[in-house]
Each structure stands twice: as C-alpha cells, then as structure tokens.
Amino acid sequence: MLFDSLKKIRRYEVLHEALPAAFDFLEKSDLSSLKEGRYEIDGDRVFALVQEYDTLSSEQKMMESHRKYMDLQIPISGSEEMGFAYPEQVREIQAYDETVDIALFKPESYQTFRVDAGSFAIFHPGELHMPGCSVVSKGSEKVRKIVIKVKI
C-alpha cells in the first residue's frame, strides 16, 4: 500500500509499465467534469472508474482484495478514511469472484488513514483495503473519486 500527495504521483510510474498511461489520463482530463462510469485508457489493461457515493461508517464496510488489478484510489472531492489490514487480521466472507476480481473480508482489526482530494492511495493485488469509510469527525460525506485499475 502506498499513500502520497497527487503532486508526487509521477515518482511511482516505475512500479509498473502501464502507470505512465494512467498518470497521463489524470493529467490530461478535466477530472471534475468526468461523469460517473468507466473510461478506457488501454482497454482492459488500464481503465478508470469515476464514482460518487456517500461514505459509510467502517462498521458498515467490508475489506476487499483483488488478484488481477492494482487499485489507484484518487478522491476528486470530499474526504474518506481507508482501512487496510494484514491477512491474519481478517476472515473471508465472500470467496474470490474472478468475473469482478474481488474477494470480501470481515476485518478483525485494521488500521485507517484519511485520504483527501489532492492525495491518492495505491493497493497492489492481495493487499486488503476498505475504501469509502466516513471520517469520524465529519460523519457521512459525499465523495467523488476516480479508481484506476491496472492489470498486473
């Protein structure tokens, strides 16, 4: 898991050969005007999902992990907490579904960090994460976010 300022995102393009195309998309797009939905960057290899939702308390959320794709989570507006856990801190509640590349887990314990507009988080395949949690001091909040999926 990586967390940093969006201003520094280019330093991470060495992690995978497809990341420069993802970062080009971020730099060349008017992110605030993109409508919800899927945007092809490089077919199924790299694509962006524009999402809008209200955050929920962490008790209402599940951990997730992926096997095929790396997640770049980039809030455009709003703030959310994201949880992360080690495999020994969770129990699987929904077996891996290859068609949507996700397995869901119930966390026994986990850590959280706050992700605001202007920052981002990267989760590699197998890393357990829980996006979309309410910032405790703010309660539920509308978040607009881009999740870029990069096939590994």
Q: Is the pLDDT of residue 146 over 90?
A: yes
Task: Quickly count: other Cβ atoms within 10 Å of residue 151's Cβ.
Answer: 16
| Residues, the chain | 152
User: Computed over its alpha carbons, how large is the radius of gyration of the chain?
Assistant: 15
Contacts of 80 (CB under 8 A, 6+ apart): 55, 114, 115, 131, 132, 133, 134, 135, 141, 143, 145
Could you tell me the two tokens for 71?
């997640």
Convert the pLDDT of each residue in 56-107 to its tens digit: 999 999 999 999 999 999 999 999 999 999 888 898 899 999 999 999 999 8
Average pLDDT, the chain: 95
Percent of the chain with pLDDT over 90: 89
* CATH at 74: 2.60.120.370
Identify the pLDDT of residue 54. 97
Its domain, for residue 127, covers 2-151
Convert the pLDDT of each residue in 20-31 to its tens digit: 999 999 999 999
Q: Is the pLDDT of residue 147 over 90?
A: yes
From residue 130, alpha-carbon distances to 34, 62, 85, 109 in Å are 24, 6, 9, 12
Handedness of CA 48, 106, 1, 57 (dihedral sign): positive
Tell me the whole-structure pTM to 2 decimals.
0.93
Our count of domains for the chain comes to 1
